Structure 1
C-alpha cells in the first residue's frame, strides 16, 4: 500500500506586534498628566481675568478688549515662535513659557489679594499670555514626534486633545465656584500652581540633538524657510487654506453670533453655555473616535467633507434658530472637527521634516489665529444686519470653499 509523503505544515506567520499605548511611554505619560493639570488651571485664568476686569471697571467693553490684547501678539509673534522652537527645541520653549506664565499669574494674584491691582496690569498680563501662546501653541505638536513612535502619534494626539476639550468643558464650573467662595485671587493662585506639573514633566525630558551652530540660519531666513516649505507642498498648502477658511467662517459666528442669539432670542447666558457644552461634547466624541483609527485613509477627502458639512450645519443654524436644533448642529460640527483634527495632527507630524516642524506648525497656527480678529469684526457687522444672515453667509462661504477644495487634486490626494 502506497502512502503520500508527509510534509511539514507551513509555519503560521507571527501576528504583527501590537503597538504599545502612548501612556506606556514614561515621558509622554508624565507630560500628559502635567499638561492636563495645567490646562485645567488655564480655565481658572480664563474665567477669573474677564470676571475681575468687569468687577474693576463695571464695563462690558473690557471683555472684548482683553481678548484682543491677547490675540494681537499671539498672531504677530506666531511665525517667530516657530523659528525659535526649531532653533532651541520645543521642550525648552514650552518650559520657558510655562515658567514665565507661572510667575506672571502668581504676581497678579498677589496684587489682587493685596487689593493693589490696577487695570493696566490686567492688560499687561493678557498681552504677555498672548506672546507666550505664540511660542507654546506650535511647540506642543512639534515636541510630540520626539516622545512617541510614529504609529503612536494619533493616539497620543487624541489623549492631549481630549484633555484640552474636557478641561474646557468642565473647568469653568469649579473656577466659578472657587471665585465665589474665596475670590479671584484664589483662582489665579490655582492657575499659577498648576504650571508646576507641566514644568516638572518637561524637566525630565531630554532635548533632541541640536544642529551645529554654523548650520543654523538667521531668524528671518528660518521663518522664510518655513513659509517656503508650505508653499512648495501642494497638500500642505491646500490643508492650511481649508483650515484658515474654517477659522474665518467659524470663530466669529460661534462666539459673536451665538452670544447675540442667546441674548436676543433666549435672554439667558445659560443657552450660550449649553451650546458650547454640546459643541465641546461633540468634539470630545470625535477626538476619541478619530484616535481609535489605526490606519486612516483618504484624510484629505475626509477633511473636505467635514468642512462642507460644517458649512451646511452653520446654514442650518441660520435657517432653524431653535435651541434644540442649534445644539444638535453644534454637536455635529464638534464631532467632525474633533474626528479630523486628530488624524491631521499625526499626518502633519509625520509628513514634515523634524527640523522644520516648529516653523510649519507656526504657519498652520498663524493661519488659524491670525484670522480670528477678522472673523470677530466681520461677524459683529453682519450680526447688526441679520443674525440669521450671519450664519447663512458664513456657512455658504465655508461650503463653497470646501467644494472647491474637493475639486482640486492636492486635497483629494492627502492620505
Structure 2
C-alpha cells in the first residue's frame, strides 16, 4: 500500500491534462538539447572549424543565455507564460531549420553556426524562467514538489545520459547535420504540445484571460519584493558563490586531476559524469515518491552543502575509484537541493515569479565563466589543492553562517500548514512588498 501511495505521489502532477502536455514538451526539448551537445562540435569540425572557432560557437550560446535571461523573466511576468514558452520553441525550431536549409544548399559557414548558437541561447534564456514560473500555474500547490522531482529526473536522463548517447549513435548512422535537423523537429513537437495547453482547465491553472488582465508589476517592485525577503536573496547569493567556487574545479581541473594524477583517461571521466547522472536520477525518483519534510528550506541547504563538501577531498584521493562515491554524493545531494530550491522559489507571488526566477538564473550563470577563468590561471599542485579545498570547505562555513543569520524555520513545502503568499492585487501592486513575512 505504501508503494502505491509513493507511486501516486510521484506521478500526481501527470493527472492534470495541462501539465501532461507541458511535461511532454519539456521531455522532448531536453532530449533535443542533449543530442545538440554532441552534434554541435562535429558540425563545427565538418565545416573546417578549429578549437577557437568551436569556442566561439559555445561562447555565443552562453552570451545569448546571460544577456537575455532577465528579459525572459520580464516577459514571463508580462505576457501569458504559455505564449512566451511556445514562441521561444518556435524560434529555436526556425533557426535550426534555417541552419539545415543553408547546409543543404551547401553554403553553411561557421559564423552562421555562431549566430544560430546565440539565438538558441537567447531562446533558452526566455523559455527557461517562463517554464519554471509556469509549473505552479498548471498543478495544485501540494504537487509542486513532485512536479519538480519529475522534471529533475527528465533533465538528468536526457542531458547527462540518454541525449548525448543517442546523439553519438545517430551521428555514427547519419551525418551530424541530420541530427541537428532532428533537434529542430524536437522543438517543433514541443511547441505543438505547448499550443494545446489550455490554462484554466487543470487544477491549479491560471487562465490566459486572467494572465492578460492582470496589471503588470514594475520591475522595481519585483526587486523590492526580492530584497524584502531575506531568505530569498541570501540563498540566491549563496548558490551563486558556491557555483563560483565549484564549477571551475569540476569542469576545468577535475579532468586533469583524473588524467595526470590518477592515471585515468576520457572513459574514466565519462564514467564519473555518468555516475553523477545516475545518482541524480535515483535521487529525483526517490524525492518524487516521498512526502517532503516540514523543515524544507533547512534540509535543502544541508543537501546542497553535502553535495559541495566532497570537492575538498577529491584532490587527495589515491585512486580514481575512490572518486566515484564522491560522484554519487554530488549527484544525489545537489539534485535534492535543486529540487527543493525550485519548489521554494515557485512559491513567490505569480506577478513577480518570472523575474525572481530569472535573477536566480543570472546569479547561477554569470559567475560560471569567471570560475573557469580562475581555474585556468594556474596549474601548480598547490594552486589546484587550494581551489579544491576552498571549493569544498567554504560552502560549509557559508551554510553555518546562513543558518545563524536567516530564519528558515518559517518556510514550509507548498501545501503544508503555512499559507501560500497572497497574490498582489492588480489594482494595487504596492502590497506586493512584504506580502509574506520576511524570514
Does the alignment reach a TM-score above 0.5? yes
Counterpart of 2:436 in structure 1 is none
Q: List alignment gaps of at least 5 residues for structure 2.
A: 1-7, 200-206, 413-439
Shift of 1:304: 2.6
Retained in 1: the 8 A contact 2:80–2:212?
no
Corresponding position: 1:296 with 2:288: no
Shift of 1:97: 0.7
- Residue of 142, 145, 163 corresponding to 1:151: 142
Query: Would the alpha carbon gap of residues 191 and 310 (structure 1) be closer, same or farther in structure 2, given more than 3 Å must change?
Result: same
Shift of 1:105: 0.9
Matched residue count = 393
Corresponding position: 1:52 with 2:32: no
Corresponding position: 1:69 with 2:66: no
Q: Distance in 2 between matches of 1:154 and 1:300?
A: 13
Retained in 2: the 8 A contact 1:239–1:411?
no
Corresponding position: 1:347 with 2:338: no
Query: Would the alpha carbon gap of residues 52 and 235 (structure 1) be closer, same or farther in structure 2, given more than 3 Å must change?
Result: same
Counterpart of 2:319 in structure 1 is 322
Shift of 1:412: 5.5
Q: Distance in 2 between matches of 1:54 and 1:384?
A: 32
Corresponding position: 1:118 with 2:109: yes
- Residue of 20, 29, 32 corresponding to 1:38: 29
Deviations 1:186-211 (A, max 9, x none): 11011011112221221112353346
Q: Distance in 1 between matches of 2:394 and 2:65?
A: 26
Q: Distance in 1 between matches of 2:92 and 2:294?
A: 40
Retained in 2: the 8 A contact 1:226–1:363?
no
Counterpart of 2:387 in structure 1 is 390
Q: How does 1:2-401 map to 2 (within 5 A)?
A: 21-57=12-48, 59-168=50-159, 169-207=161-199, 208=207, 209-210=209-210, 215-216=215-216, 221-222=218-219, 224-265=220-261, 266=263, 268-320=265-317, 322-350=319-347, 352-383=348-379, 386-401=383-398
Deviations 1:117-146 (A, max 9, x none): 101011101111121121111111111111
Deviations 1:381-406 (A, max 9, x none): 24466434332232233222222222
Q: Distance in 2 between matches of 1:404 and 1:237?
A: 15
CA-atom RMSD in angstroms: 2.2
Q: Distance in 1 between matches of 2:278 and 2:320?
A: 16
Residue aligned with 1:319, SS: coil
Deviations 1:288-309 (A, max 9, x none): 2222232422222213322332
Q: List alignment gaps of at least 5 residues for structure 1.
A: 1-17
